[in-house]
Chains A and B, each alone.
Chain A
Amino acid sequence: MRNISLIIRRVWKSAFMVTALSVLIVSGTQAQDAAAGRTIFKEKCTSCHALDRDLIGPALQTVVPTKSEAFLLKWINNAPALIASGDKEAIEASKFNPSAEMTAFPTLKPEDIKNILAYIKAGEPKKAGDAAAGAGASEEVSDFSLAGVVAVILISIAVLVILGRAIKMLERLILQKQGVVIVEEENLSMAAGVNRLFKNKKFVFFFILCLVISLGSWGWMGMWNTGVNTGYQPTQPIKFSHELHAGTNQIDCQYCHAGAFESRNATIPSLNVCMNCHKSVQARDSHDGNISPEIQKIYNALGYDADKMTYDKSKEKPIEWVQVHNLPDFAYFNHSQHVVVAEEAIRKEKGLKPNEPVCFACHGPVNTMEEIYQYSPLTMKWCINCHKDTKLEVKDNAFYTKIIAAHEKIKKGEKMTPAALGGLECGKCHY
């Protein structure tokens, strides 16, 4: 019965989806210019402007309707020139923020600007998800149905068991009626069987052997993996998504982790780096026009008031991230050594694609990690194996010229690995 109602609902849902999509496509063709304008807007304008509120520039939906299209075409194309030409309206407009002049966009064609204006007028399009309001409900049904299936199976098993018992009972009753005396030997024979089994020395030996092997290997594995935290993914104070930043938005690792290229520490970026983008990127679209609560955490830490765009030093409260990659204090690791000096070598050894940053070699596919986790075991064995296998790429590094010349073995063609240059010696990392 349930299944039938399910099927009906599914059919109904897909029918709805098809209709909704076709409606969208139709309306889409109508709003073609606004969509194109949205793309350009996101690319060029969002760092200073928002539709509905003041940023570095004014809230566009308030200010644009007050201006003529002719003025806007000139203004957006080259505002500094327009101001310089003495245009009164332009000078008036430039007073909004005397400390920041509107950037010139000479590459924008008039059609592009018109598209942008259309987008500003139309506003952010309603999402397809909102239209398909039933989608959420269907999710619920499917979950429920899964539970239902499990329940049905369980119930049927129970029924089978009960039925089986009932049949046995009935058979017995029939037999009793027939006057056959039944000895309860079944249970007795079970216990006796177990007893007999345990008196069998071979079996006991085999059993104990199995037990020892399994416990031993479990313990062995356990001990080897004590303190190895591959996959460690602590809860962070901010749900920062590397998938979004490094993956979708393709932000270079260096932009935030600049230290990795010049220091032993990769460094967690300070909040002024976050604010470079998040002063304007507030993800209001996906939070009903409110600032994303995660981005708000950055603002709170800095004592930043997003509406007034002011900082309050007295409200500053640093963010306490939880370190994911923990090396013991007695092991010295230097990011710049690996990322700058050994980049080529590591890329080759790990077979990284040209578009993948060298960081992936140890940190894994960070661009797909919603929340960051420890990808590599970070054990000494792991370090050593890489130092043994990786062939150094030293062609254009004058540091190595003399070193290579001095190494007889390397001259004879031995693979030039960090290990061959003494990279496995204790004192190279432990001091």
Chain B
Amino acid sequence: MESNKKYWKGLEEYNKTSDFVENNKNEFAEPLPIEDVLNEAGLSTVTPRRDFLKALGFGLGAVSLAACQPAPIHKSVPYLIKPEEVIPGVPNYYVSSFKGQSILVKTREGRPIKIEPNPNAGQFNCGTDAVAQASVLDLYDVSKLKAPVLKNEETTWSKVDAFVSAELAKAKASGKKIRIVSSSVYSPSTLAVVADFIAAYPTTKHVQYDAISYTGIIKANENSFGKAVIPKYNFHRADLVVSFGADFLGTWISGEEFTSQYIENRNYKTLAKGKMSRHFQFEAGMSLTGTNADTRVPVKLSEQGPALITLYNAITGANLAGGALPNNVTADKALKLVAKELVQQKGKALVVCGSNDVSTQILVNAINSAIGSYGTTIDLDNPSKRFSGNDAEFAEFQNEMNRGEVAAVFFLDSNPAYDVANAKAFTEGLAKVALKVSFSDRKDETASLCDVVATNQNYLESWGDANTYEGSYSIVQPTINPVFDSRQAEQSLLIWSNAPVKDYYQYVRNNWEKNILPVLGKTWNELLQNGVFAAAEKPAGTYTFSLSLAAVAPSVVSTSKSLAKDIELEIYETVAMRDGKHANNAFLQELPDPVSKVTWDNYVALAPKFAEEKGLKEFDLVEVKGSNGYAIILPVLIQPGQARGTASIALGYGRTKVGKAGDNVGKNAFPFLSFSNGTLQYATTVTISKTGGTYELAQTQTHHSFEGRDIIREASFAEYKKNPAAGLGKKEGGHKSYDLWDKYEKPGNNWVMAIDLNACTGCGSCIVACNVENNIPVVGRDEVRRRREMHWIRIDRYYSYEEGDKSVTEEKEIAHMENLDNVSVVHQPMLCQHCDHAPCETVCPVLATTHSSDGLNMMAYNRCVGTRYCANNCPYKVRRFNWFNYWNDSRFDNYLNNEFTQLVLNPDVTARSRGVMEKCSMCVQRIQAGKLQAKIEKRPLKDGDIKMACQEACSANAIIFGDANDPESEVSKALRSERIYYVLEEVNTQPGIGYMTKIRNTDSPKTIA
């Protein structure tokens, strides 16, 4: 039964620190202060006994009095004129699009409450990422402006229009420059509006820049192939993926889309056919993608260039200088192996690199050309339109402002005062501009420096469109009337440029009917129903890299050399916070980072050994000082797998003017960025010095610990091919089991789940989807520190490592401590297992948690008295206790504690009250709704009628849900896989959720090490 590998969630577990041991003794780390209240000394405590008794007496009296009220007065206010399509109590769905993801917006009584992937989107249905799932909360953000702002005072649109028009007329008369500064715009209609504006004011220029820049790739492709584009990457065509620091499953370009493509070659269906892709990751910080790689090799930032040169030399037999990795033998060996395999897999391989350096990307292009990627795994003819920012143009814009040449500037979906490298140069320049207009929805860092804040609408209130790839178009349609007195930025621009059509809806429609729909051969109504259409793809041409690398290689080498001093700093995006635009979204702030499991903060990630060398411990506060003099103080996080000599700091934190939830969370890392060789560089060097204090990060990794029990099953692909049940550790013939309890009859349906550990990337989109669907409260940083996060589904991230061909067993662990660089990672989604013999059910003194005849472990909140016995008895640690009324308590003021934000709640799910236990209900509201729909339509329930919120959100289809009593259902088939095991099945809880072993397509480790 036992797997001989040792898995641990964090170093404190690995090292069995006294804190860890103490905290994990009990289900609830903190005891209740009962003794303090009840003993005599309690009189002087905050709640003395007498006060307690008084309160008790008063409470009893108040409750009795309240009970005397004959009936509660609940007002019920019907529509005056009910819209035809609205039936109160029945959701309506509208297709839309969010950051290139085709989505379905669920609305109830006219308010959006959930984002789901668009099932009609065909190839564009790639699930949704965590940001898309959480985006619905942004609509109900109380920190937004309620009306436009002119000179720091709320005003009316007519006054704003008069002011802006007059100033624009002045600017036009003076002949000075007008600039529209935005992040990448890939909406054809917005681009048309901007073009109209430029026609009206010819001195205008549209400057696009992205906080997370991809200029390097665009310029490299322009240089190599004459096409200034981001190509379309086809991960599903790649049997071998090699990534140099590109977090393509998480944040790189289009994570959710690449995830769905990548997993196509690794999920249980492909494995059943005996196939699996292979993935090497060379990176400094441990990224989400790195945790999923078959082989991950820590490589310092300064070694990335030489590594690429080594690879190029090995593939092509060229002899470029600088291709040596004297200090990283493992990487060197791995690269030789990768080169051999890349050549073997010609045309079925893909090399990607996360660098924004043009020379580095040109080198990557040369490698991809050599392995025949163009036309197969890389498509330059149907390029991605998502990012078109140009770092140099923005730098030039800053210079123009500082030279006093700019008369008016408009900020559209951009916040340079926060997210550019040199914010000082920007703000100084901005002060010289006469008319400064921000289209932000709040007074953010940039908007507060502007004369006018022309409050833009949330995308759920807006019309719009998106052109994510060449030839593919999707629509953004409003799902609610504007809540505040806001106006779409495009409409404002149309009004100010005095365009003939000033209504943006009409403008979008005209634009589509004239330019796009005829090409697609579709009608407007079809578009509103389907959401996304694509013209036939152009055939992907093959491109050959034919330029000389004579100048490129030295540039790569010198960039690398410049990084090889002090401590190399990698500045990266996290899956939740991204570039910080959604920093006020409490769902995202509380989403544990997929790798570090830290919430509500950023930190300096250091390798364990390296931190030890520097005399730093976890949570020590350090000052990080950049070469440009910028310094911040952050806590240290010890990150296994981090390349020694490097540090990583996440972007997107340290906002100061975003709102209640996101202000002053973490520190801003954007000022560490540097501008060199025409692009922004996300690698730099810093010095780190200890400041003396400590700061406890709210990290969930060791909460809900399994205390070292053996719950992960893993096998290599080679072993799997020999025996599909490899790694399960099942003995021949199984073991005898005895039941204490009677068997439950489940004659009708038996709702179960299968989770493919090989498909789960750990991205966390399911967590947010579950939060939104099930009204799960956000508890805040302090409560997370007390281990009180409420997430019904969590993703446990386990480290383990292999050195040589010896697995680390419990006995040998200490001896191998020094090498924590080469850890491998397994992500395991953990939620209520809906055990047939559930330990929680038997201990509940009030029968609040019971078993249903369709296999669910039910939780009746109104019955629960909060003894918490069930949580103590749950071996999976999936039960959550409501310590407070998180949605109605001034101490938790960052989220639901206002009537406006409460509109996001799902009306079909009870909002739980204080003192009540809760846990995954297997979206019972969806099950019931699906059954009812079938009953009304008088038809049998079909497989796929009912989908769980987590399942829908998953880009990788790692979660399969259905009826185990239907032998033809997807889940029944999945559960028949040889890879299936049940967590802690030896306890005989008979869980309803089966997991499939993690398969790693690793070589025998000897080949590399």
Contact = CB atoms under 8 A, between A and B. Distances in A.
- A-B interface, 10 closest residue pairs, ranked by CB to CB distance from nearest: A427-B858, A263-B89, A270-B82, A265-B89, A270-B79, A426-B860, A422-B853, A323-B74, A268-B78, A406-B747
A330 B71 contact: no
The winner among B77, B921, B938 for most chain A CB atoms within 10 A is B938
B425 to A, nearest CB: 51
A321 B75 contact: yes
8 contacts: A269-B78, A272-B80, A316-B80, A318-B77, A332-B925, A398-B938, A427-B856, A430-B861
Contacts of B852: 422, 425-428
A139 interface: no
Give the contact-size bracket for chain B. 35 or more
B73 interface: yes
Given A425-B853, A426-B863, A431-B924, A341 B936 contact: yes
A427 B859 contact: yes
Contacts of B62: none
B76 A398 contact: no
Contact of A341 (B73, B858, B928, B932): B932
Interface in B856-890: 856, 858-863
Contacts of B924: 427, 431
Contacts of B940: 398-399, 401-402
Interface string B905-942: 00011110000000001001100100110111011110
B87 interface: yes
B902 interface: no
A431 B938 contact: no
Nearest to B851: A425
Contacts of A401: 940
Contacts of B854: 422
A341 B938 CA distance: 8
Given A425-B852, A426-B850, A319 B77 contact: yes
Given A408-B747, A427-B858, A262 B938 contact: no
Contacts of B938: 396-399
A49 B848 CA distance: 62
Contacts of B850: 425-427
Contacts of B815: none
A336 interface: yes
Given A267-B88, A403-B748, A406-B748, 5 more contacts: A259-B87, A263-B90, A267-B78, A329-B911, A337-B932
B143 interface: no
Name the prevailing secondary structure of the B interface residues.
loop
Nearest to B936: A340
A331 to B, nearest CB: 8
Interface residues of A, number: 57
A209 interface: no
B868 to A, nearest CB: 19
Contacts of B32: none
Interface stretch (A1-9, A82-90, A163-171, A226-234): A226-234
A264 interface: yes
Contacts of B932: 334, 336-337, 341
A259 B856 CA distance: 30
Nearest to A237: B75
A51 interface: no
A302 B79 CA distance: 10
A402 B71 CA distance: 43
Name the prevailing secondary structure of the A interface residues.
loop
B910 A430 contact: yes
A326 interface: yes
Contacts of B965: 406
B748 A427 contact: no
Interface string A200-225: 00000000000000000000000000
B907 to A, nearest CB: 9
A407 interface: yes
B34 interface: no
Given A263-B87, A272-B81, A330-B861, A323 B75 contact: yes
Contacts of A229: 70-71
Contacts of A320: 75-77
A328 interface: yes
B90 to A, nearest CB: 5
B2 to A, nearest CB: 36
A407 B73 CA distance: 44
A314 B285 CA distance: 60
Contacts of A334: 932
A383 interface: no
A396 B848 CA distance: 36
A404 to B, nearest CB: 9
A234 B76 CA distance: 12
Contact of A262 (B79, B82, B87, B747): B87
B749 to A, nearest CB: 8
Contacts of B935: 337, 341, 397, 399-400
Contacts of A331: 862
B909 A431 contact: yes
B72 interface: yes
B934 to A, nearest CB: 5
Interface string B826-864: 000000000000000000000010101110101111110
B67 interface: yes
A50 B131 CA distance: 60
A430 B909 contact: no
A34 to B, nearest CB: 39
